[in-house]
Amino acid sequence: MKAVRTKPRPKRTPPKVPANWNPNIVVFACNWCSYAGADTAGVSRIQHQPHFRMIRVMCSGRIQPGFVLRAFERGADGVLVSGCHFGDCHYISGNERAVEQFEKTKNVVTLLGLEEARIRLEWISAAEGARFAQVINEFTDQVRKLGPSPLAGNGRAKE
């Protein structure tokens, strides 16, 4: 049975977004599609915002909640999880597992009071360089609007 919320969501006063602030984003990408998609974007010289670090994994199915949560713990402002389109996963159904793991992650992230918009799941094929750039731009803008994560400055990932 799903609980019916009767209490309002607690409000966190949104931090002032500093001028010229750029978010610190972690992107998890699978080796066979989304990482190659990023490569395609690079080879085709498609411009996109550069405020992310990419972590390559063999398959999006590997990206368990611990990965995303650790990124937030270390101060990431947003985390993008990406893999192959359904039916294209190199390991057949890894991305279906990724969806389950992502759902779980989302539930924990919202319990912690972090905005849901700080995480995103996207499928990007090796050929979709332009789409990779578009997703990165959209997500970067989305996280920029939210401002720094309340946990920012917690980790080693600062420039």
Partner 1 sequence: MVELAQVATKTKAWACYDCGKCTATCPISRIGGAYSPRRHVLATNLRQQEEVSRNGTVYACLTCSLCDQRCPAEVGYTQLVQKLRELSFREGTEPECPHGGALQSVMRMMAKGGLQQDRLNWLTDDLKTEPEKGEVFYWTGCTMYYDAFFSEFEAASLEGTKAAIRLMNKLGVAPVVSANERCCGHDLLWNGDRKNFEALARQNVKLVAESGAELLVISCAECLRTWKVDYAPLFDGKPPRMVHITEFLVEHLPELELQPNGRRRATFQDPCRLGRHLGIYDPPRKALTAVPGIELAEMSRSGPRAMCCAGGTWSNCDRFAKQIQVGRLREARATGAEVLVTACPKCQIHFRCAMKDPNLKGEIEIEMRDVAEVVAEGLSR
Residues that bind ligand FES (CB under 6 A): 30, 32-33, 59-61, 83-84, 89-91, 94-95
Q: Binder to partner 1 among 46, 65, 99, 138 (CB under 8 A)?
A: 65
- In degrees and rounded to multiples of 5, residue 147 shows phi and psi of 85, 180
The first and second tokens of residue 52, run together, are 């992310």
Partner touching 126 among ligand FES, partner 1, none, CB below 5 to 8 Å by kind: none
Q: Which candidate, 66, 72, 56, places its Cα nearest to that of 104?
A: 66
Closest CB 94 distance from ligand FES, rounded Å: 3
Cα atoms in the Cβ-side hemisphere of radius 13 Å centred on 150? 8
Considering the complex, state which of residue 119 and residue 152 has its C-beta at the smaller distance from ligand FES.
Answer: 119
Partner touching 85 among ligand FES, partner 1, none, CB below 5 to 8 Å by kind: none
Closest CB 125 distance from ligand FES, rounded Å: 9
Q: Which candidate, 98, 138, 144, 104, places its Cα nearest to that of 121?
A: 98
Q: Which candidate, 52, 19, 20, places its Cα nearest to that of 38?
A: 52
Partner touching 56 among ligand FES, partner 1, none, CB below 5 to 8 Å by kind: none
Closest CB 25 distance from partner 1, rounded Å: 18
- Contact (Cβ atoms closer than 8 angstroms) between residue 21 and residue 113: no
